[in-house]
Amino acid sequence: MADVLFAVIQVCMVFAVWSYLYKENLASRIATTIVISISTVFYFMSNMIRVWDVAVIPLTKGRFSMIIPIVLGLLLYTRISKTYSWLSAYSYSIQLGLGTGATLTTLIASSITGLISSTVLKPFQAETTLEQASGIILLIGTILSLTYWIFTKEATGWFGWAVKIGRLFLMASIGMLYAEDVLWAQSIFVGAWQIVIRDFLKNIVLGMG
């Protein structure tokens, strides 16, 4: 009985969300409100459990250094008060400072220097001819793509050809990113249809589960 009720709720939610494609209506607003409410409660409870496990329990066992993150977290709730909202600035500033420092150190190593070194060294570290050819094409495409963003020199002669070929590499990469987004959206759409056809019509209505 619980499976039947769950399948009916799923189908109702799917069609309520899809009804927004026609126009905004009461069903779509109810579905949106339910999803946002459940997500808010879920993440709130997940974070509360994490705070309890990571900070509160160690604090009760003698790790008094956990008082600092607990106090900083509680100070964020002073935003509710107009009188004491300025206290939350300390938590925000510390959080942004630590986050910026951690992001910059990992971002430079992974997304800048790491990508440059892997692109340059890949043709020489390849184990097969196909991997070596792929690395050479990647290196050439990277260099030519960079020429597209050089605006201090007129794109004429050999430089003009480099810019045009670099533009093709950029268009190909952007096209692949767009295709990935389309495939991701289609996978969600297919998953919704599976809920309607397999979980509801086949298993519940026709009893073929």
Whether residue 154 sits in one domain with residue 120? no
Whether residue 54 sits in one domain with residue 3? yes
Q: How far is CA 167 from CA 135, 160, 180, in A?
A: 19, 11, 20
Kindly state whether residue 69 falls inside one of the protein's structural domains: no
Domain assignment of residue 52, given as a range: 1-62
Kindly state whether residue 73 falls inside one of the protein's structural domains: no
- Residue 10: the pLDDT is 84
Whether residue 142 sits in one domain with residue 204? yes
pLDDT tens, 49-60? 999 998 989 988
Q: Give the model's confidence band at 1: pLDDT under 50 very low, under 70 low, under 90 confident, else very high.
A: low
Percent of all residues in the chain with a pLDDT value above 70, rounded to a whole number:
98
C-alpha 47/C-alpha 54 separation (Å) is: 10
C-alpha 48/C-alpha 54 separation (Å) is: 10
C-alpha 164/C-alpha 159 separation (Å) is: 9
Whether residue 136 sits in one domain with residue 92? no
Whether residue 203 sits in one domain with residue 145? yes
pTM: 0.57
pLDDT tens, 68-89? 988 988 898 899 888 888 999 9
Provide the residue count of the chain.
209
Kindly state whether residue 117 falls inside one of the protein's structural domains: yes
Whether residue 143 sits in one domain with residue 109? no
Kindly state whether residue 70 falls inside one of the protein's structural domains: no
Number of domains in the chain: 3
- Residue 199: the pLDDT is 78
